[in-house]
Structure 1
Amino acid sequence: MSRLDSMMRRLSAQRDGLEWAAEQTGDMNGDALDMGLGNGRTYDHLREILDRRIWVIDRVLQCHPSCVPPSQDFLEGEAEEMLQKLAAMGAKIVLAHYDFGFGVKEKDVEEAARLSPAIARVMIPGGVIVSGQPLVGFQAVEGPAGIAKDRYYFYRT
């Protein structure tokens, strides 16, 4: 499979997974969390499909100008510290998207496992996590049909 085809499958799985998670959590009370703003495409999509506050965590704010989150919802810094800050603020996250990464699979998987307990502290019971990396300590669930195994990961808290 070409890198272009692979990227298209990943983005399609991400979109379908987020829309599935929005349906799964539609009647639940709580906020959303986008971990890894990047260019802002995912955050922009979440704004379109959700009617709830969306917290955003990233090391730096360098997204497209149309995708800048409100300053009160953007936590800039290292992930673990920002997740601790979010937990201390009493945030209740019902839907989270995990997209942190260095671009080196082994390092990305290791960081996802390391951050999993901090993510758990902000999630409400029954919440949904959509993740580009495997997480630990959550109940793996089957996401939407048509997404290849290990392309995206889906969890309930």
Structure 2
Amino acid sequence: MSRLDSFIRRMSAQRLLLDAAAERLVGIDGPIIDLGIGAGRTYDHLVALFPDREVFAFDNFVQAAVGVLPDAHHMVIGEIRDTLPASLPRLGRRAALIHNDLGSADAVGNAAIGGWLAPAILAVARPDAIIVTSFVLPFDKAVSLPLPDGVAPGRYHLFQLTV
């Protein structure tokens, strides 16, 4: 598979899972978190998908176009392992949905990220939060949710916390 085909499949899976998560979030209150704003495509989709919720973006640095960036209150810049667990006062309440796109094709690197990211997510997530993630995170208490049609197993992951 070409890198372009792989990218398209990953983005399609991401969109399908975010749309499925939106259906599951009916009646579950809380803000939305996007980890790794990148070019801002997913953040923009989350804002459109959740017009009545606050959407916060976290990244180590900003590379998105100015017109796509959140305002200063909703854009958290800095080392995510530090900024995410300390962000609950800014969020105002625990997050209902967290989208993680920090990983890469490197399974060892993803495992290292997951080691600090899972506890950081738990520090700000509702006990029943939905997690959409590009790689498996080591949560002790979470259930894997069924993938929508069109998402190949292992391409992207959908969890709900049960802590």
**TM-score under structure 1 length normalisation:** 0.92
CA distance in 2, matches of 1:48, 1:23: 14
Q: Do the aligned partners of 2:147 and 2:153 also contact (CA within 8 Å) in 1?
A: no
Partner of 1:115: 117
Superposed displacement of residue 102, structure 1: 5.5
Q: Do the aligned partners of 1:35 and 1:56 also contact (CA within 8 Å) in 2?
A: yes
For 1:63-90, what per-residue CA distance to the aligned partner results, in whole angstroms no more than 9, with x for missing partners? 1222110101111111111112113545
CA distance in 2, matches of 1:35, 1:58: 6
Partner of 1:151: 155
CA distance in 2, matches of 1:148, 1:10: 9
Partner of 1:130: 132
Q: Do the aligned partners of 1:99 and 1:132 also contact (CA within 8 Å) in 2?
A: yes
Partner of 1:76: 77
CA distance in 2, matches of 1:101, 1:151: 12
Q: Which stretch shows the higher mean deviation, 35-44 or 84-93?
A: 84-93
For 1:3-33, what per-residue CA distance to the aligned partner results, in whole angstroms no more than 9, with x for missing partners? 2111111010001111111111022110000
- Gap runs ≥5 in structure 1: none
SS at match of 2:64: coil
Aligned: 1:141 with 2:145: yes
Q: Do the aligned partners of 1:34 and 1:43 also contact (CA within 8 Å) in 2?
A: yes
- Greater fraction helix: 1
- Gap runs ≥5 in structure 2: none
CA distance in 1, matches of 2:150, 2:115: 26
Partner of 1:16: 16
Moved segments of 4+, more than 6 Å: none
CA distance in 2, matches of 1:82, 1:41: 22
Q: Which stretch shows the higher mean deviation, 63-72 or 105-114?
A: 105-114
CA distance in 1, matches of 2:117, 2:88: 13
Q: 1:21 to 1:152 in 2, by over 3 A?
A: same
CA distance in 1, matches of 2:35, 2:18: 13
Superposed displacement of residue 91, structure 1: 3.2
Aligned partner letter, 2:10: R
Q: Do the aligned partners of 1:32 and 1:52 also contact (CA within 8 Å) in 2?
A: yes
What is the RMSD computed on CA atoms of the aligned residues? 1.5
Q: Give identity over the alignment, percent.
A: 34
Partner of 1:99: 101
Q: Which stretch shows the higher mean deviation, 109-118 or 53-62?
A: 109-118
Q: 1:102 to 1:152 in 2, by over 3 A?
A: closer
Task: Give the number of aligned pairs.
Answer: 157
Aligned partner letter, 1:142: P
